[in-house]
Structure 1
Amino acid sequence: MAQTVADYVLERLRDWDVRQVFAYPGDGINGLVAAFGKADNQPRFVQVRHEEMAAFAAVGYAKFSGRTGVCMATSGPGAIHLLNGLYDAKLDHVPVVAIVGQTARSAMGGSYQQEVDLQSLFKDVASDYLVEVNVPEQLPNAIDRAIRVAQANRAPTAVIIPNDVQESDYQPPQHAFKHVPSSAPGTAWAAPVAPERELARAAEVVNAGEKVAILVGQGARGAAEQVRELADLTGAGVAKALLGKDVLSDELPYVTGSIGLLGTRPSFELMRDCDTLLIIGSNFPYSQFLPEFGQARAVQIDIDGRFIGMRYPTEVNLVGDAAATLTAMLPMLSRKEDRSWREKVEKDVAGWWSTMAEQSDVDARPVNPMRIVSELSRRIPDNAIVTADSGSSTNWYARNLKLREGMLASLSGTLATMGPGVPYAIGAKFAHPDRPVIALVGDGAMQMNGMAELITIAHYRHLWDDQRCVVCVFHNNDLNQVTWELRAMGGAPKFEESQTLPDVDYAAFARSLGLGGVTVTEPGDVGTAWADALIADRPVVLDIHCDPEVPPIPPHATFDQMKAVTEAVLKGDPEAFHLIAQGVKTKLQELRR
């Protein structure tokens, strides 16, 4: 039997050691689906419940494995559904390849069923590489370039293959005019380092500083050892962008935690008071949380020159791999003997964690959401992977969760889309089937995407050596982040028709799928629920009912924000009295220090 184009596509993916494709079937990819069957499901076709979830799972897999994620969808609506997850990959700089079907070539331009101009549809999200395969000879180059460009540019790419092309006999490119060959899969990537002269300039800036601050993002993930040595030499405090939350352990006394709208007071004060700033592997967008312009001399290190010098007026810009560049620069630095700045940072950090512990113990109705994460921090396994969703639960992930060395964590950082928490967890389990995975998800995101993907977890859990996959639902029946944004930014009371969610028994739904399901309504039961879930022999949903009126307002809230919340209360917020009571009780823990 002749090898078809679809057969060859899967063969080439196997050559690239692609082990699974997150996908949903449809007649636009029937040729490819049939090829999976002939290939004994190698790579594995992982059937999610929706194409958007296929893209999210591929992003999660790529983030936690360091490899390229692959997703697949049919023509028309299936391809359209991939877009949100692919934009998540684009904005967080993650290598993902999308393979999508298209109507047969003979029908193109004929207003045929499910015919969509996919080149126009994908030209922004897959701008780094987008190709339509119209003759078999375009392969293997199309697949190889899609993967190489995704890896090189840390970006999504897309390959469109019309249905009839998938079923055509495969013909390799020839040594002929207008044929494009390709080399064997596999690429050796260099670790570029900035020129020595520029490294010396950067070292001069750092050596001259007395109050050094370091900001790390996901680009510093491979440079943790060098960042620790840098902090030791300079006496610096280290703040973390959300995407860099797992770069350094939160148990290090000089790590100030997250920065920005969801950040900590020590990170805010670190930036407010420093005279020197090093930005390493981060494109953190909120310049108002960085030092005042002109206050600090600044150096930035990033592997991508497109994102250098665009958030703060940096004096020296080093384009290169974070680990390699820091390794070259460290011998040029002098150890700072005056440790008064470091002592202040460590005192601030210790005080912050004490405040967080006290705030998480504040009574709420029924459970304080901060307590959910604080109890997890006390029990989280050493090799855990944590995914977070977008919403008010992200505040508690950012501020209250103490990660230790060796743990991995991520979320939709730049797009900040709702719904990737559970599909990210699925991607994480396929990347590391021997590690426990924990997803922290609000009930809005759970209703949007997460509940359906519990079905996917139930379907594939037998493939995972370690069955632990805990989905924790912050159950408050409110689209809580937007509710607080309305209060804090617009001075508007909660609009219940927009914000209130229908009540759902998430634990019961999990149990109906053969998963574990635990409902928690008492504060004293939170710790036990985590302990049991983290030793369970199956995935578990923790359905924890928590108080929507515990304020996620940052500890460095402005006067205007506090004034807006007060105005919202005066305009008749439906939970006005309880809102004020929780806000006062929570903030009192900070004011006591």
Structure 2
Amino acid sequence: MLRIYPLARAETTVNPLPARAHPGYVSRVPVMHRQPPFERLFMATVSDFVIQRIKEWGVTRVFGYPGDGAGEFDGALGKAERDGTGVQYIRPTHEEICGLMATAHAKFTGEVGVCIATSSPGAFHLLNGLYDAQMDNQPVVAIVGQQGLNALGTFTMQESNLERVFADVAVYVQTIVSPEQAQAVVDTAFRTALVRLGPAVIVIPHDVQGMKMVEPAPENWVSRSSAIAPSTAVVPPEAEILAAARLINEGKKVTFLVGHGATGATDEVLEAARLAGAGIITALRGKQVVPSDVPFHTQQLGLLGSLPSLHQITDCDTLVLLGTNYPYGQFLPKTGQARAVQIDLKPEQLGLRYPTELNLWGDVRATLAAIIPHLEAKPDLSWQQKVATEMVEWENEMAAQAELTYDDGVNPRRVIHEVNKRLPARAIVTADAGTTADWYGHHIRLRDGMLGDLSGRLATMMASMPYAIAAKFAYPERTVVCTIGDGAFQMLGMNELITIKKYLSSWSNPQLIIVVIHNNDLGQVSWEMRTEDGNPVWRTAQDVESVDYAGWAELLGFTGIRVRDDSEVEAAVDAAFSTQGVTLIDAYCSRNVPPLPPHITFEFAKNTAKALLKGDPLALGVVRDSAEALVSEGVERVKGKLGLGGGA
């Protein structure tokens, strides 16, 4: 049922901590585990113990790739599977995919993601996924193999200093060197990942993996630990709660900037915004927190954002940052323009992007629940109404941009725009780094109960494929849509169609749609060369070899749909959503469609002109297609001002 979010105020009784969190999201709260008698594991190996212990931490699924450095541990996983006492083991085509899947699992479920790999080469391949977890504040535990204890430091085959390797990425990294140490290392890894919101790494040498497990004794140098998750529902002191409420109450033009760290706090964010008469902007990874049909939610800010969001930031007098580490300071208010308060569980990121007046170290949901009873309902909703009116105009602009046609291929905006129209209830959408992130920001609207995500601060290419598959494992009953560029798809994305084929029968709803933006170009980098550095496109580096992606899908037994003209887009998307299986839409798109920012800056225009004057090989198409996009935006804005269809 569609929820209505009226601008007119209604009296409600506020439950300080409603039971409903974000649909489909598991809150990271303590879970009491009944630990089995140690005698049951007394004759087991360290590997057997570690598998049992991660289950006590709530782990039911791991993403792994085997190898001899983890041979004993892999053998124990196999034995536990045969005995019916193990965890689900998902093996994609590469260890990097394992790391990205574990991170995606954490993002989509709120649980700890777990990945497993062998020693040096496999462990190294995990790094990109673990950096994704680190930079997007996700709890992940990596379990990696190592050569035997006696080999450490002797330059033997595949032996390297893994603790040093992982020291930069991990919030905790430790090698288990004895059975007595295993319990404390595993528990500390999970506890630290949860509290510090980052990846932890457990290194297990091959010989230690097979050692007989012993119960830690009450003696010096031996820690006896527990598999109990710590509470992260942190609430700041009452004085800070009151100060934050007072700051918000005193604002006349309040804007909430909401990030993924507010996941699970949807009701609290909406109630606080209702009382404050606030407009809401979501960071790209925060789209799922605030439903798109909230009229005063203006989606994203910045190059991937909306003009109403830019206007909010330019005009607001109060800024409330909720669970976000929004990194683009050029789009935040001028210093001194707005009073600001930030709420976040990452204390090192408080007050980092804007000179805030108050920094509240706490959980967004619990902290807002404490603040809400002290907020005064604003009688004047003109600020919120202005925000909502501008958003209607912007949505008309986005629809107009999607209708433009180009001589050199399909409009990629049209493809994503039509996908958005057909998203079923509780769908999950993943986006890749590159221009697909622009189209995701501009055209995907996540309604209540939907989920969506991408590699955020790391912005690594190809992540949308392992993200989509991890989402399908977490929610096998839901429709999942992966949007990806052809450059990213050629990295490891194409391989993951093999993983989908391998596990497809295990999903209750087999519908998974992959949209490949096929423009034979590393598009985002091409535009960055022009707009950031004033350089022409270097086709030697930028061109992507054209491949029949739909044919590759068909080779694996999936449905492949080729789209070569704008007139074919709607039928293709209809066919994909009516297919109960895997569909790959191979959209042959124009490489010159500009990912226009909501406000063309002087620097953006100047650098683009410089690039064209230096002999950009695609200059004619860039000029023509950019001009069409700019004219369309201008026409829609004028129509909105005149009340001719573009406005409210």
Relative to the length of structure 2, the TM-score reads: 0.89
1:478 equivalent in alignment to 2:514: no
Query: What is the DSSP-based 3-state SS (H/G/I as helix, E as strand, rest coil) of the residue aligned with 1:580?
Result: helix
Aligned with residue 284 of structure 1, among 320, 326, 330: 326
The Cα offsets for residues 208-228 of structure 1, whole Å up to 9 and x where unpaired, read as: 211111100011111111111
Is 1:248 matched with 2:248? no
- Of residues 453, 467, 487, the one that matches 2:496 is 453
**Structure 2 residue 146 is the aligned partner of structure 1 residue 102:** yes
In the alignment, which of 153, 162, 177 is matched to residue 205 of structure 2? 162
Provide the rounded CA distance (Å) in 1 between the counterparts of 2:404 and 2:495. 34
Corresponding residue to 2:244 among 179, 182, 202: 202
Deviation at 1:527, TM superposition (A): 2.1
SS in 2 for 1:494: coil
- Where does residue 499 of structure 1 map in the other structure? 542
In the alignment, which residue of structure 1 is the partner of 2:93? 49
Q: Secondary structure at the match of 2:81?
A: coil
Alignment RMSD (CA, Å): 1.4
Question: 1:302 touches 1:322 (CA, 8 Å); kept in 2?
Answer: yes
Q: Distance in 2 between matches of 1:543 and 1:56?
A: 24
Cα deviations across residues 532-565 of structure 1 (Å, max 9, x unaligned)? 2223222221111111101013121211211111
Contact 1:139/1:172 (<8 A) preserved: no
Structure 1 partner of 2:229: 187
Q: Is the 8 A contact 2:435 2:523 kept in 1?
A: yes
Match of 1:20 among 61, 69, 74: 61
Counterpart of 1:9?
50
> Which residue of the partner structure matches residue 121 of structure 1?
165
Q: Deviations over 1:349-402 (max 9, x none)?
A: 010000000010000232111111110111001111111110111100011111
Q: How far is the alpha carbon of 1:335 from its aligned partner?
A: 1.8
Please state how far the C-alpha of 1:238 moved relative to its aligned partner. 0.6
Q: State which of 595, 605, 615 in structure 2 corresponds to 1:562.
A: 605
SS in 2 for 1:140: helix
Unaligned 5+ residue runs, structure 1? none
Q: CA deviation at 1:109?
A: 2.0
Q: Is the 8 A contact 1:22 1:71 kept in 2?
A: yes
Secondary structure of the structure 2 residue equivalent to 1:90? helix
Distance 1:292 1:576 in 2: 35
Task: For 1:152-551, list aligned pairs within 5 A.
Answer: 152-183=195-226, 185-187=227-229, 189-364=231-406, 365-551=408-594
SS at match of 2:429: strand
* 3-state SS in 2 of match to 1:383: coil
Residue 520 of structure 2 aligns to a residue in which SS? coil
**What is the rounded CA distance, in whole Å, between the counterparts of 2:326 and 2:240 in structure 1?**
23
In structure 1, C-alpha distance between the alignment counterparts of 2:572 and 2:58, rounded to whole Å: 39
TM-score (normalizing by structure 1): 0.97
Partner SS for 1:553: coil
SS in 2 for 1:351: helix
Output the amino acid matched with 2:220: F
List alignment gaps of at least 5 residues for structure 2: 1-41, 638-648
CA distance in 1, matches of 2:578, 2:58: 32
Is residue 76 of structure 1 aligned with residue 117 of structure 2? Answer: no
Distance in 2 (CA, whole Å) between partners of 1:385 and 1:522 is 27
* SS of structure 1 residue aligned to 2:131: helix
Task: Tell me the SS of whatever aligns to 1:255.
Answer: coil
Residue 81 (structure 2) aligns with? 40
- Given that residues 398 and 443 in structure 2 are in contact (C-alpha distance below 8 angstroms), is that contact kept between their aligned partners in structure 1? yes
**Superposition deviation, residue 405 in structure 1:** 0.9
Q: CA deviation at 1:188?
A: 5.3
Instruction: Tell me the SS of whatever aligns to 2:482.
Output: strand
The one-letter code sitting in structure 2 at the alignment partner of 1:59 is T
User: Separation in 1 of the partners of 2:71 and 2:95?
Assistant: 15
Between 18-27 and 200-209, the greater mean CA deviation after superposition: 200-209
- Counterparts of 1:123 and 1:567, CA distance in 2: 43
Q: Distance in 1 between matches of 2:590 and 2:367?
A: 46
What percentage of aligned pairs have identical amino acids? 45
> 1:13–1:43: 8 Å Cα contact kept in structure 2?
no
- The one-letter code of the counterpart of 2:631 is L
Matched residue type, 1:143: V
Deviations 1:239-296 (A, max 9, x none): 1111111111122111111112311111111100111111111111111111111001
Kindly provide the amino acid, as one letter, of the partner of residue 69 in structure 1: G
**Matched positions, count:** 591
Partner-residue secondary structure (3-state), 2:289 = coil
Q: Distance in 1 between matches of 2:96 and 2:503?
A: 18
1:585 aligns with 2:628: yes
CA distance in 1, matches of 2:79, 2:311: 60
8 Å contact kept, 2:152–2:160 = no
Cα distance in 1, alignment partners of residues 191 and 447 from structure 2: 33
2:346 aligned partner, one-letter code: D
Instruction: Tell me the distance in 2 between the aligned counterparts of 1:226 and 1:2.
Output: 50
Asked whether the 8 Å contact 2:302–2:598 carries over to 1, the reply is no
CA drift of 1:233 comes to: 1.7
